[in-house]
Amino acid sequence: MKLLNIRSSNILIILIFTIIVDYSFAQEENRLDSTQKKNIILNSVALGATTFSYFGLYNLWYKNYQQTSFHFFNDLEEWNYMDKAGHVYSSYQVARKSHLFLNKKNIKNSLEKSCFYSLFFMLGIEVLDGFSEKWGFSNYDLLSNFVGTGIFYFQQKKIKRQSLKLKFSSHLSPYAIHRPSLLGDEKNISQRIFKDYNGQTYWLTFDFDNDIQNRLKVFKYLNFSLGYSIDGFIGARNNNILNCAECNEINRQSQLLFSVDLDFSEIKTKNRVLELLLNSFSLIKFPAPTLILQDQNEFKWFYF
């Protein structure tokens, strides 16, 4: 786990963050109801989740690399924008989970506060990048954070629900063997899931909540999904890798995916533990039949 790529490890940190928030809410919701106590819980959870996430992120990656003075870095052309998709997704999920927590606590201006916290949380990660000799502060990452937070904010503000949801999925690609230090050790599944962009997919799940969904209950939980991924990327900008003559022969391409998704957040339950699990898994796209548009189109009955 110490070798997780900083860009992909953002996803792991977001997953940890949301679990902390969900667990804290499940434990405390019925215990405290006064304004003063609510504020104490709010501040404690926010501080605890942020501190734990930053501490974990630093130990997973930054402490193994040289630190330097604050500087900027242009990474727009790396990985065909997969990193930017990751930032959009991460900032959206932090805003969404923070708003769920604040709203359940009946905190005033919960939408604005949750979106501010999302931007602040993601900015902290970018600042850590800025002091790392190997990377730097990316203005494009910052812009992506605003986009992800904005997607959540404007939907919640205008239509009071998330008709467009951002989700994540990942599978094992065949490229780790060519560059295990960057794409993950071939025998370490967790590394490959969070390091290898070739196996990752970011999804836009459309939940229109229309008359058909209301009449046919099954469609209330079944949504249409549009995904984006890449394939054949051994390096960030090219495949010119030392000691890998065949890497240059691998075709680098982007992929557009069409699929369906199950929305676990629509399942209502009074069981706190089950509610926690359902809300946490709403971060992830459910495996399903998928059409992949690329240089040679492909259809898979089971894609994750």
276-292 pLDDT, tens per residue? 677 767 888 999 999 99
- Computed on alpha carbons and rounded to an integer, the radius of gyration of the chain in Å comes to 20
For residues 52 and 172, the model is more confident at 172
Asked if the model's pLDDT at residue 167 lies above 70, the reply is: yes
Name the residue ranges covered by the structural domains of the chain: 1-159, 163-304
The answer for residues whose C-beta is within 8 angstroms of residue 112's C-beta and 6 or more apart is none
Helix residue ranges, H only, the chain: 6-28, 35-60, 82-104, 110-130, 139-158, 180-183, 189-195, 211-215, 272-281
Sign of torsion, CA 212 275 288 162? positive
Q: Tokens 């898994």 belong to which residue?
A: 281
Instruction: Quick: pLDDT tens for 204-244.
Output: 999 876 555 555 565 677 889 999 999 999 988 899 887 78
Q: What is the pLDDT of residue 282?
A: 80
Count of CB atoms situated within 10 Å of the CB of 212: 10
Q: What is the pLDDT of residue 45?
A: 67
Token output for 66: 């040289």
